Chain A
Amino acid sequence: MFEEEDVKILIRALKDCGGYDFSDYSLKSFLRRVEKVLYDNKMDIYTLTNAIKIDSNFLEQVVKDITVNTTEIFRDPSVWQIIKYRVLPKLHAQKEINIWHAGCSIGMEVYSMEILLYEAGLLDKARIYATDINSDVLKTAEEGVFSYRSASEYLDNYRKALCVNPYNMDEKIIVPIEKYLDFNIPKDTLKVKPFLLSKAVFKKHNLVSGTNPFNVKYDMILCRNVLIYFNQTLQNKLFMDFWKYLNDDGVLVLGIHESILGPMSSKYDKKGLIYQKKLF
């Protein structure tokens, strides 16, 4: 174990030497992650702090290990059903559609979105932007090649998200998964079909900076299971940032067990599992 003062020194070093500001992370989850990094590297907090000051590659690695990278294809199918039936239909009239995946990890939801857009005939006019703090996951996301073993348990999500209409359960929808994904079970790969690749723009970006990484306004921002690692001050700041960067009728999609607390909660309308930007 270590003292609060030691943690502050570590946070300061990550900021001074790498420009990563963890001071508004939820202290509890930051400590948990640091404990794991210390355990995996067989280090104490003093050695770790010194090592990141000397070795910038190691610092980058520590930042990657502190941040969490869980994602799934069509995670929480009910959310994707709402996007399909309640959000996308409103975007048909628009000339272009801008979508930002903030904290995209290895991009499984980026490709999930592309599949929905393609099914809706909207992919051509969509611009898909995706960011993460971790350059390794962005590389995997860009390549669109995943482990079949780790993805296969989520294939049921695909079926529910694409083939079930919750507003008309009798409707028969058939969208074979092979239309979008190539499997190679012996090689343990699941590859996104080439026509979906190089559609999204992936970019390294730290949400804490508060900047808009692409200088456009978005119709939809997805930031799922990212803010749970931040304290309420930072959460509120990001709800403010997202509000600024959304179009007037834009929507924000959070993790299914996240909610908007604090002052910014009055600036969004909760519509089922998504948040609609409110102007007044």
Chain B
Amino acid sequence: MLYVVIGGSAGSFPVVTGLLASLDKNFPFPMFLCLHRLKNVRTGFVEALRLKSVLPVSEPYDREPVLRGHVYLAPANYHMYVTKSETISLSTEEVVNHSRPSIDITFSSAARSFGSKCVGILLSGANKDGALGMKAIKEAGGTAIVQSPDECQVRTMTTAAIKAADVDYILTGAQIISYLQKLKE
């Protein structure tokens, strides 16, 4: 079993939709998306992802059990944690890195809960959220993948992560897709 966590901010939306459109509909692992969005864009986001995605996408309820082949999008204005018992837990605690949801929080909780079974992917973005989360995933024995900063619309986030963590791969969006397509049990 693997658990894929993806974080992104400014410039990540086209990469995420491209990725969700290209996966096999029998993708065998759960996927957790933590994407920053503008504060006033509360609704419509999950619908926009659903339009493109071959996998079911939802904003989870607190304590919702995790299913394989399902994509969970951190709801606006909540932090999203994943737990060892394979449930999702939400919180409205303080913003972290000016963000709620915070990528560091989702990534670190995935690292703590799933250790080496965790695949973290960090995409384009304009702040440093996600760098500590990437480091946590690496330290827990997971796989850390960063979108190539040269390809990112905004390179701040990926550059910070590469600096903070000894990442495994620096890949283009297309390479990230083929990496995920090849993931097996």
Question: When the two chains form their complex, are residues B89 and A228 in contact, meaning their CB atoms are under 8 A apart?
Answer: yes
Question: When the two chains form their complex, are residues A228 and B90 in contact, meaning their CB atoms are under 8 A apart?
Answer: yes
B82-93 vs A, CB cutoff 8 Å, 1 = contact: the mask equals: 010000011111
A218-244 vs B, CB cutoff 8 Å, 1 = contact: the mask equals: 000000010011001000000000000
Contact for B40 among A33, A156, A256, A261, CB less than 8 A: A156
Question: When the two chains form their complex, are residues A153 and B61 in contact, meaning their CB atoms are under 8 A apart?
Answer: no
Indicate if B173 sits at the interface (CB-CB under 8 A). no
Which residue of A is nearest B80, CB measured?
Answer: A257
- B39 neighbours in A (Cβ, 8 Å): 153
Question: When the two chains form their complex, are residues B92 and A28 in contact, meaning their CB atoms are under 8 A apart?
Answer: no
Question: When the two chains form their complex, are residues A257 and B61 in contact, meaning their CB atoms are under 8 A apart?
Answer: yes
Indicate if B59 sits at the interface (CB-CB under 8 A). yes
Indicate if A265 sits at the interface (CB-CB under 8 A). no
Question: When the two chains form their complex, are residues B60 and A257 in contact, meaning their CB atoms are under 8 A apart?
Answer: yes
Question: When the two chains form their complex, are residues A70 and B92 in contact, meaning their CB atoms are under 8 A apart?
Answer: yes
Indicate if B43 sits at the interface (CB-CB under 8 A). yes
Contact for B91 among A76, A229, A259, CB less than 8 A: A229
Q: How large is the interface on B (under 10, 10 to 19, 20 to 34, 35 or more residues)?
A: 20 to 34
Question: When the two chains form their complex, are residues A28 and B90 in contact, meaning their CB atoms are under 8 A apart?
Answer: no
Q: Which residues of A (141-189) have their CB < 8 Å from a CB of B?
A: 153, 156
- B78 neighbours in A (Cβ, 8 Å): 257
Indicate if A44 sits at the interface (CB-CB under 8 A). no
Which residue of B is nearest A224, CB measured?
Answer: B92
Give the interface SS of chain B, mostly helix, strand, loop or mixed. Answer: loop
Which residue of A is nearest B59, CB measured?
Answer: A257
Which residue of B is nearest A68, CB measured?
Answer: B93
Indicate if A78 sits at the interface (CB-CB under 8 A). yes
Contact for B90 among A32, A75, A257, A261, CB less than 8 A: A257
B48-72 vs A, CB cutoff 8 Å, 1 = contact: the mask equals: 0000000000011111000000000
* Cα separation A229 to B43 with both chains bound (whole Å): 24
Question: When the two chains form their complex, are residues B62 and A228 in contact, meaning their CB atoms are under 8 A apart?
Answer: yes
Indicate if B7 sits at the interface (CB-CB under 8 A). no
Question: When the two chains form their complex, are residues B83 and A228 in contact, meaning their CB atoms are under 8 A apart?
Answer: no
* Cα separation A225 to B90 with both chains bound (whole Å): 9
Question: When the two chains form their complex, are residues B89 and A68 in contact, meaning their CB atoms are under 8 A apart?
Answer: no
Q: A28-B81, A153-B39 are in contact. Are A261 and B63 (CB under 8 A)?
A: yes
Minimum CB–CB distance for A147 against chain B, Å: 14
- A33 neighbours in B (Cβ, 8 Å): 93
- A28 neighbours in B (Cβ, 8 Å): 81, 83, 89
Question: When the two chains form their complex, are residues B93 and A70 in contact, meaning their CB atoms are under 8 A apart?
Answer: yes
Minimum CB–CB distance for A271 against chain B, Å: 16
* Cα separation A68 to B77 with both chains bound (whole Å): 14
- B94 neighbours in A (Cβ, 8 Å): 70
- B59 neighbours in A (Cβ, 8 Å): 257
* Cα separation A255 to B94 with both chains bound (whole Å): 17
Question: When the two chains form their complex, are residues A259 and B40 in contact, meaning their CB atoms are under 8 A apart?
Answer: no
Which residue of A is nearest B100, CB measured?
Answer: A70
Which residue of B is nearest A231, CB measured?
Answer: B63
Question: When the two chains form their complex, are residues A259 and B93 in contact, meaning their CB atoms are under 8 A apart?
Answer: no
* Cα separation A76 to B89 with both chains bound (whole Å): 19
Indicate if A258 sits at the interface (CB-CB under 8 A). yes
Question: When the two chains form their complex, are residues A225 and B92 in contact, meaning their CB atoms are under 8 A apart?
Answer: yes
A52-93 vs B, CB cutoff 8 Å, 1 = contact: the mask equals: 000000000000000010100001101000000000000000
Indicate if B75 sits at the interface (CB-CB under 8 A). yes
Contact for A228 among B42, B43, B77, B92, CB less than 8 A: B92
A7-29 vs B, CB cutoff 8 Å, 1 = contact: the mask equals: 00000000000000000001011
B76-120 vs A, CB cutoff 8 Å, 1 = contact: the mask equals: 011001010000011111100000000000000000000000000
Output the residue of A76, A153, A232, A256 with the most chain B CB within 10 A. A256
Question: When the two chains form their complex, are residues B40 and A153 in contact, meaning their CB atoms are under 8 A apart?
Answer: yes
Minimum CB–CB distance for A146 against chain B, Å: 16
Question: When the two chains form their complex, are residues A29 and B91 in contact, meaning their CB atoms are under 8 A apart?
Answer: yes
- B60 neighbours in A (Cβ, 8 Å): 257
Q: List 14 A-B contacts (CB under 8 A).
A: A29-B91, A32-B93, A33-B93, A75-B77, A78-B43, A153-B39, A153-B40, A225-B92, A228-B92, A229-B91, A255-B62, A255-B92, A258-B62, A259-B62
Q: What 8 A-B pairs have minimum CB-CB distances, sorted nearest first?
A: A70-B92, A228-B62, A259-B61, A225-B92, A153-B39, A156-B40, A257-B75, A257-B61
Interface residues of B (CB under 8 A from A): 39-40, 42-43, 59-63, 75, 77-78, 81, 83, 89-94
